A and B are shown apart, each in its own frame.
Chain A
Amino acid sequence: MKKRWLLAAAVSSALLVLTACGSSDDTSESQGPVKENACENATINFIGLEGEEGKVELEDWREERGTKLVSSWPGDWAQLIAAIKVGQPFELSTIPYHWAQRMIAAEVVQPIDTSRLTNWDKVASGLAESPSLRGEDGEIYGVPIAWGDAPYIYAPDRVSNPPKSITDLLDPSWKGRFVLFDAPDSPFYLLAKAHGFDESPLLTQEQLDVVVADAAKLVDNAAAFQSNYQDANDRLINKDVDLAVGGWEAQVAWAEEKGVTLDFGFFDEGRHGWWDGLAIPSTSENVDCAYEYIDQMISTEVQAELATNLVSGAVNTDAFDLVEGDAQSYDYSVVTGGANSDDFASSTPPEEVADGYMNYQDWLDAWQKIKS
């Protein structure tokens, strides 16, 4: 009798484990024309960054339609991918520039037919034409809603001569005085540019070796890895560090609220842009509503309000003059094909690269080696 119980328990446990470990192939791609007022009395399940779901900016719009917004904020991007992979239904998700290619390759987002978006033509060309939005099939998988240019943030009272090049931070005088993100993106990209590797972030093995050697010195000189922008600000405000590589202009405003003056600057190697967008997850149960919502998110008025609230760049060209506050400090020429448009480049290589080049996984592996 006991043996039978044990056998049954073992079989049940094994089935449970295998079921739990099993992957979900559930994907639903809605086809056909977008229904008008598809969001009426609908629920939009969003997963992604807090503040980028239009919670405030589209509150009235949702109220008019009886639309409910339910937001989930994952701890990191892998959690977002996992949540969609296991089949949780979401109408919308954030798609950030540095994870866009991974999300596309992981097939957690579906292609977006931009002809369905009435405001797509107003999206700045530098963003709309960015290869980082596109999959290998050439389809667009994300619609940018905010962008920035990754400055460094520093405390002017302790840094009288802000660094001109990222290589300045390799100097022993900077030892223990700055933080950076625990990711190779910005350091590798900028150090490669400093070495004159103009194709950065596309690097050969030899070029990557050169960059990694410098990056190891950079990491050794850094005080710590910042967890996020707020963490970097805390360290700057507490005077534990003097500079944060990979920042956001909004940090200056946050510090001001605490009576501390911070400033931002750019390395001579150039700016590298970031954008956050909205994507339609493969598990979306109301694709039409997702399209309608995304279209609203890139409309002129909503964009102006969103950019002002996030202290980020607006993506809608008509909204550029309408943004207020610190969001006005952005140089919009970098996303409109102006003189500095070359500066608005992605800092990460794609997942699939031509022979002879290193992909993002190679960068991540090299970064882990530096830390060991």
Chain B
Amino acid sequence: MRPSVRTLQMAPATLYYVALFLIPLLMLAVYSFYSVESFEPVPKLTLDNYVEAATSDVFRGFYLRTLRVALTVALIVTLISFPFAFVLNYVLPARKHVVYFMVLVSLFGGYIVRVYAWRNIMGREGVVNQTLLGLGVVDRPVTLFLNSELAVIVALVNYLIPFGILPIYAAMQNVPVGQVEAAQDLGGSRWLAARRVVLPLTSQGCVAAFAISFIATSAEWVTPQLLGGTGDQLIGNQIQHQFGGGLNWPLGAALALTMVVLVVALLGLAYAVIRRWLR
């Protein structure tokens, strides 16, 4: 029995998915049931790691903070991305390729470079403070910008906005300009057309933008470390600690998988709410 052309066409993607996603995820799942002896994971199966991940006050604090920050970032990214994509597609159709290219160009900058750039922008002698001082809004540098949850959120929003715009913009390609014009011809404002016509028809793109931002933020640990204060670390920092200094890979794996379950559950809930709201 020879494999069909369709099977062969799917093979590279399937292999890629299995090798780089499924097997690592399975390994993580296996490790999460291991025990630790002499700082080494050993195959003595236990549920203790999940019990600790679910019941520890320490981790609860990190989970709640992570979900709060992820929700905030995802909402802001989606709320900015939708109007941006709308303007790009319907208000500036003649220049949309140039602007779209600029959105893509912003992804070229290295992630770490961006984080350090934000440090310079929000620092005591950074651009924001210099501007505020120059305008006379403040008489001394504001220290609240850097080393704060605000700094983490601003940097993540900036980083994730292109990832929010792209799926919404892609979804808008399937909404004919004629439908928007028809809404306006019938007396609707541009805002009403966007809200009542375009938004429901691009809800999948909005959900994708929200999901991408939420998932990316919930896995973050570098930005909180470099831009956050001592009380702004996320669950990603704890997972990194367990795989690093804590030398407790099984607990790190259990924390990571618990977070995956939480994220999937919350995204499912968010999806249902958005669908209902847009109906």
Given contacts A17-B27, A102-B39, contact A223 B119 (CB under 8 A): no
* A18 interfacial by beta-carbon distance below 8 Å: yes
Other-chain contact of B143, A176, A220, A369 (Cβ < 8 Å): A176
Contacts A17-B23, A18-B30, A106-B40 given: A224-B228 contact, CB under 8 Å?
A: yes
A60 is an interface residue with CB less than 8 A from chain B = no
Contact for A102 among B31, B226, B238, B247, CB less than 8 A = B247
Chain A 350-372, CB-CB to B under 8 Å as 1, else 0, gives 00000000000000110011011
* Closest CB in chain B relative to A217 CB, distance in Å: 11
Residues of A within 8 A of B231 (CB): 219-220, 371
CB-based contact B39/A23 at 8 Å: no
* Interface bits B122-139 vs A (CB < 8 Å: 1, else 0): 011100000000000000
Cα A224 to Cα B59 in complex, Å, equals 20
- Name the segment of A78-86, A254-262, A337-345 touching the other chain: A78-86
Kindly identify, within residues 4 to 43 of chain B, every residue whose CB is under 8 Å from any CB belonging to chain A: 18, 22-23, 26-27, 30-31, 34, 38-43
Interface flag for A16 (CB, 8 Å) = yes
From A107, which residue of chain B is reached at the shortest CB distance? B38
Tell which of A75, A223, A240 has the most Cβ of chain B within 10 Å. A240
A222 at the interface (CB under 8 A from B): yes
Task: Given A13-B18, A224-B230, answer yes or no on A21-B27 (Cβ-Cβ < 8 Å).
Answer: yes
CB atoms of B1 and A183 under 8 A apart: no
Residues in B with CB closer than 8 Å to A73 are none
- How far, in whole Å, are A16 and B120 apart by their CA atoms in the complex? 46
Residues of A90-110 at the interface with B, using a CB-CB cut-off of 8 Å, are 102, 105-107
**Nearest A-chain residue to B31, judged by Cβ:** A21
Question: Is B258 positioned at the interface, with any CB of A under 8 Å from its CB?
Answer: no
Interface size band for A: 35 or more
Interface positions, chain B 130-175, Cβ under 8 Å from A, are 143, 146-147
Q: Is A364 touching B245 in the complex (CB atoms < 8 A)?
A: yes
Q: Are B226 and A227 in contact (CB under 8 A)?
A: yes
A17 to B: closest C-beta gap in Å: 5
Is B268 located at the chain interface by the 8 A CB criterion?
no
Q: Is the CB of A23 within 8 A of B41?
A: yes
A372-B57 in contact given A240-B146, A364-B245 (Cβ < 8 Å): yes
Contact indicator A23/B40 (Cβ below 8 Å)? yes
A224 in contact with B229 (CB, 8 Å): yes
Number of chain B residues whose Cβ lies closer than 8 Å to a Cβ of chain A: 43
Are the CB atoms of B62 and A16 closer together than 8 Å?
A: no
How far apart are B27's CB and chain A's nearest CB, in angstroms? 5
Q: What residues of A have a CB within 8 angstroms of the CB of B247 in the complex?
A: 78, 81, 102, 106
Cα distance A102–B246 in the bound complex, in angstroms: 10
Asked if B114 is at the interface of the complex by the 8 Å CB criterion, the answer is no
In the complex the two chains form, is B244's CB within 8 Å of A225's CB?
no
> Which one of B26, B62, B147 lies within 8 Å of A17 (CB-CB)?
B26
Give A50 to B143 CA distance when docked, in angstroms. 34
In the complex the two chains form, is A372's CB within 8 Å of B62's CB? yes
Q: What is the 8 Å Cβ interface bit string for chain B, positions 54-67, against chain A (1 contact, 0 not)?
A: 00011111100000
Q: Which of B42, B57, B245 contacts A76 (CB 8 A)?
A: B245
A364 CA / B244 CA spacing, docked (Å) = 12
Q: Per a CB cutoff under 8 Å, which of B125, B225, B230 touches A238?
A: B125
CA of A219 to CA of B238 in the docked complex: distance in angstroms? 16
- B124 near A240: Cβ-Cβ < 8 Å: yes
Q: Which residues of chain B have C-beta atoms less than 8 A from A224's C-beta?
A: 146-147, 228-230
Residues of chain A with a CB closer than 8 A to B43's CB: 21-23
Give min CB distance, A12 to chain B, whole Å: 10
Contact call B230/A81, Cβ cutoff below 8 A:
no
The answer to the question of B243 belonging to the interface, with a C-beta cut-off of 8 Å to chain A, is yes
Residues on A with beta carbons closer than 8 Å to the beta carbon of B58: 365, 368-369, 372
**When the two chains form the complex, which single residue of A17, A79, A106, A225 contacts B230, counting CB atoms closer than 8 Å?**
A225
A6 within 8 A of B: no
Which residue of B is nearest A218, CB measured? B230
Supply 5 A–B pairs (Cβ within 8 Å), ascending by A. A21-B43, A106-B38, A106-B247, A223-B147, A368-B241
Knowing that A81-B247, A223-B146 touch, tell me 18 more A-B residue pairs with CB under 8 angstroms. Answer: A17-B27, A20-B27, A22-B43, A75-B244, A106-B38, A106-B40, A106-B247, A107-B38, A223-B143, A224-B147, A225-B225, A225-B230, A227-B226, A238-B120, A238-B125, A239-B125, A240-B125, A371-B231
Residues of A within 8 A of B (CB): 1, 13, 16-18, 20-23, 75-79, 81, 85, 102, 105-107, 176, 182-183, 219-220, 222-225, 227, 231, 234, 238-240, 364-365, 368-369, 371-372
Instruction: Mark B residues whose CB is within 8 Å of A.
Output: 1, 18, 22-23, 26-27, 30-31, 34, 38-43, 57-62, 119-120, 123-125, 143, 146-147, 225-226, 228-231, 233, 238, 241, 243-247
